[in-house]
Chain A
Amino acid sequence: MIRLVDTTLRDGSHALRHRYTPDQAAAIAGELEQCEVSLIEISHGDGLGGSSFTYGFSEYDSFDLIKAAASAAPRTEVAVLLLPGIGTIEDLEKARECGARAARVATHVTEADVSAQHIAAAKKMGLRAVGFLMMCHMADPARIAEEAVKMESYGADYINLADSAGYLLPEGVAERVSAVRSAVKIPVGFHAHNNLGLAIANSLAAVRAGAEYLDGTLRGLGAGAGNAQIEVLAAVLKRIGYETGADLYRLMDAAEVLVAPLMERPQIIDNGSLMLGYAGVYSSFLLHVYKAAEKYGLDPRYILEELGRRKMVGGQEDMIIDVAWRLKQKKSCPA
């Protein structure tokens, strides 16, 4: 059994610049419950507390969105994302009061120890806790396994590996999933981005290496070129013969009817998205980079290339300003 985790209302929030309304959240969550997905994730794209100048302000209060989704999907576990350093345990407690039943606690792939307090707190609140390692391309399989073991020791119920930059190729995914699987006793999941057109192939590689949870979004709505398109995942897994319990046609309809009309731009691999995957940059940087490129009259590819070279990690959207400003100075003062 492969469990599908839908993050249209969290990763998809990046693509909509955090403008989901409570009505949209309720409609999508309610329909996802009918589609029988295992977990529905909802939050600002950067998790609880993400609403900010740096990551973009949410149009509606995040807790109202969580409440709307949780009451529309009473049978399904509703999860929130929490990045220690951005969101707090206090935020998590509030999310629980709004109906969240799981917490995905995310850290950069080499920094699992900052999640100890938050994973323990989630468990204490009676929430399912997921240890979520971001930017998995930036560490080798052995190191990732060590970090996963730490999260397991804090009480995580499963480990989710995220290819946040959409940089990995299928063999890189398989190696990482296998290494973590043999290091921990809890299940492993995988979160793809489609920046190199490999979201489905990478998710499949993860499953073949033993992953039991797969993240996806309706229509692929998400940061950068988007995530693994969940209705495609359902179809591919079904054809191979993996059981997901999800209703394929209903997912397809939800994508077409509920999500397609909301999209501000087609979820394609445009040049900026391709650069994310090529240079290894956190996917949610994309729209902020476009904004900075326009403001400073720069080619977004050079900003992305420099961010990759500087090895910026998730959450460092503020450095886009620094890079763009610097490139602009260089451009306007010819040597």
Chain B
Amino acid sequence: MKRVKVGIIGPGNIGSDLMYKVRRSRFLEMGMMAGVVESEGIKRAAALGVPVSTEGVKAVAARKDIRIAFDATSADAHIRYNAAPLKESGIVSIDLTPAALGPYCVPTVNLDALRSEQDINMVTCGGQATIPIIHAIGRVAGVSYAEIVACISSKSAGPGTRANMDEFTQTTAKAIETVGGADKGKAIIVLNPAEPPLMMTDTILTRVKDSSVGLEKIAASVEAVVKELQAYVPGYRVIVPPMLEGDKVTMIVQVEGQGDFLPKYSGNLDIINAAAVAAAERIAEDMLEREGAR
């Protein structure tokens, strides 16, 4: 079967994990791993037979056969260097940085509406783990306020996250509103250094507009979206099921990573990558279908 070639810009932990997920895909294949210096990630990709370059976005944009690129660098790099050349070359950007030049994408909620966008943003790991739930609660009971507490192990919080805590909280809060549908969103992130490292855990607290719909309907809506999520994040689990007290709904989820390149406790990195690959697959499927019909 024909596959769509993709490039990955940024051969760090995120980029390397993405590469393993792409290699498993039915719709995607690795066209290039690009960085700006010789690195472990570049060597790793080369060892797997993936074309590599240290010319960064330039090398990806120059390749006529690459149609989709994952940007796993930084918000600054996406805005300043990567977005424009990709656009000029007609390559779809799947942006894993907090740059958010394009619309936020949470696959279970709005991927269908974003299939023809040129640059889509994957929000944050905390957003990917919680916004589907907030949306699921909202579609049956309406959500006036949603709050999430994301706990990730210190070991899986890279220097990018650490240097930009506000980007995480502000981006997630905004996407809780624009994608999750809550009138007001709030996001909190806590790093825990315990050993062995803790799995990523997210607590989701919402104030619903109509609690009279009852817990059963809310729980059923949540359960349906959890199944959809598990299709691309197999380690996604509800550890405390939804509870309704007055107009407050509380639940807790945990994300165990697939252990592709990163350890299993890095569910935070796994879920954003899995969401990015799910988005790329849908876009690739459309491309292949269009071309098949031509």
Binding site for B on A (CB under 8 A): 49, 52-54, 84-86, 88-90, 108, 110-111, 113-114, 116-118, 138, 310-316, 318-319, 321-322, 325-326
Do B190 and A117 touch across chains, with their CB atoms under 8 A apart? no
Instruction: A322 to B198: give the CA distance in the assembly, Å.
Output: 14
Instruction: A117 to B170: give the CA distance in the assembly, Å.
Output: 15
Chain B, range 146-169, C-beta contacts under 8 Å to A:
147, 149, 151, 154, 159, 162-166, 168-169
Interchain CB contact (< 8 A) of B165 among A84, A108, A313: A84
Q: Determine the residue in chain B with the shortest Cβ distance to A295.
A: B245
Interchain CB contact (< 8 A) of B163 among A54, A117, A138, A314: A117
| Shortest distance from the beta carbon of A43 to any chain B beta carbon, whole Å | 15
How many A-B residue pairs have C-beta atoms within 8 angstroms? Tell me. Answer: 93
Interface size class of B (residues with CB under 8 A): 20 to 34
Report B-chain residues with C-beta under 8 Å of the C-beta of A318: 149, 151, 203, 205, 252
Interchain CB contact (< 8 A) of B252 among A116, A117, A321: A321
Q: Determine the residue in chain A with the shortest Cβ distance to B191.
A: A111
Q: Is B5 an interface residue (CB 8 A)?
A: no
Interchain CB contact (< 8 A) of A52 among B154, B186, B252: B186
Main secondary structure of the interface of B (DSSP, over half): strand
Q: Is B189 an interface residue (CB 8 A)?
A: yes
Instruction: A27 to B170: give the CA distance in the assembly, Å.
Output: 34
Q: Mark B194-210, 1 if CB is under 8 A from A, else 0.
A: 10000001010101000
| Shortest distance from the beta carbon of B126 to any chain A beta carbon, whole Å | 11
Q: Is B84 an interface residue (CB 8 A)?
A: no
Instruction: A315 to B193: give the CA distance in the assembly, Å.
Output: 13
| Shortest distance from the beta carbon of B192 to any chain A beta carbon, whole Å | 5
Do A319 and B151 touch across chains, with their CB atoms under 8 A apart? yes
Instruction: A202 to B203: give the CA distance in the assembly, Å.
Output: 35
Q: Determine the residue in chain B with the shortest Cβ distance to A318.
A: B203
User: With A53-B147, A84-B166, A316-B190 as given contacts, are A110 and B252 in contact (CB-CB < 8 Å)?
Assistant: no
Instruction: A106 to B272: give the CA distance in the assembly, Å.
Output: 28
Q: Is B13 an interface residue (CB 8 A)?
A: no
Report B-chain residues with C-beta under 8 Å of the C-beta of A90: 166, 170
Do B194 and A315 touch across chains, with their CB atoms under 8 A apart? no
Instruction: A54 to B146: give the CA distance in the assembly, Å.
Output: 11
Q: Is B248 an interface residue (CB 8 A)?
A: yes
Instruction: A316 to B207: give the CA distance in the assembly, Å.
Output: 20
User: With A85-B190, A108-B193 as given contacts, are A116 and B163 in contact (CB-CB < 8 Å)?
Assistant: yes
| Given A113-B159, A117-B166, A322-B252; 15 other pairs, CB 8 A cutoff | A52-B188, A85-B165, A86-B188, A110-B193, A111-B191, A116-B163, A138-B193, A310-B194, A312-B192, A313-B191, A315-B149, A318-B252, A321-B240, A322-B240, A326-B240
| Shortest distance from the beta carbon of B135 to any chain A beta carbon, whole Å | 18
Q: Determine the residue in chain A with the shortest Cβ distance to B159.
A: A113
Instruction: A192 to B121: give the CA distance in the assembly, Å.
Output: 44
User: With A84-B165, A88-B169 as given contacts, are A52 and B147 in contact (CB-CB < 8 Å)?
Assistant: yes
The CB with the most chain A CB atoms within 10 A, among B147, B165, B189, B243, is that of B165
Instruction: A118 to B163: give the CA distance in the assembly, Å.
Output: 9
Do B170 and A88 touch across chains, with their CB atoms under 8 A apart? yes
Q: Mark B168-193, 1 if CB is under 8 A from A, else 0.
A: 11100000000000000010111111
Report B-chain residues with C-beta under 8 Å of the C-beta of A108: 191-193
Binding site for A on B (CB under 8 A): 147, 149, 151, 154, 159, 162-166, 168-170, 186, 188-194, 201, 203, 205, 207, 239-240, 243, 248, 250, 252
Instruction: A84 to B164: give the CA distance in the assembly, Å.
Output: 9
| Shortest distance from the beta carbon of B149 to any chain A beta carbon, whole Å | 4
Report B-chain residues with C-beta under 8 Å of the C-beta of A319: 151, 201, 203
Report B-chain residues with C-beta under 8 Å of the C-beta of A326: 240
Interchain CB contact (< 8 A) of B193 among A84, A310, A313: A313
User: With A311-B194, A322-B239 as given contacts, are A85 and B163 in contact (CB-CB < 8 Å)?
Assistant: no
Do B165 and A117 touch across chains, with their CB atoms under 8 A apart? yes
User: With A54-B188, A117-B165 as given contacts, are A325 and B240 in contact (CB-CB < 8 Å)?
Assistant: yes
Do B192 and A54 touch across chains, with their CB atoms under 8 A apart? no
Instruction: A310 to B189: give the CA distance in the assembly, Å.
Output: 18
Interchain CB contact (< 8 A) of A315 among B159, B168, B188: B188
Instruction: A53 to B188: give the CA distance in the assembly, Å.
Output: 11
Q: Determine the residue in chain B with the shortest Cβ distance to A117.
A: B163
Q: Could you jot down 11 A-B contacts, CB within 8 Å? A: A52-B147, A53-B207, A53-B248, A84-B165, A86-B169, A108-B193, A110-B154, A111-B193, A117-B166, A313-B192, A316-B149
Report B-chain residues with C-beta under 8 Å of the C-beta of A114: 162, 165, 191
Report B-chain residues with C-beta under 8 Å of the C-beta of A54: 147, 149, 188, 203, 205
Q: Determine the residue in chain B with the shortest Cβ distance to A317.
A: B149
The CB with the most chain A CB atoms within 10 A, among B163, B166, B205, B252, is that of B166
| Shortest distance from the beta carbon of B232 to any chain A beta carbon, whole Å | 25
Instruction: A116 to B164: give the CA distance in the assembly, Å.
Output: 9
| Shortest distance from the beta carbon of B57 to any chain A beta carbon, whole Å | 26
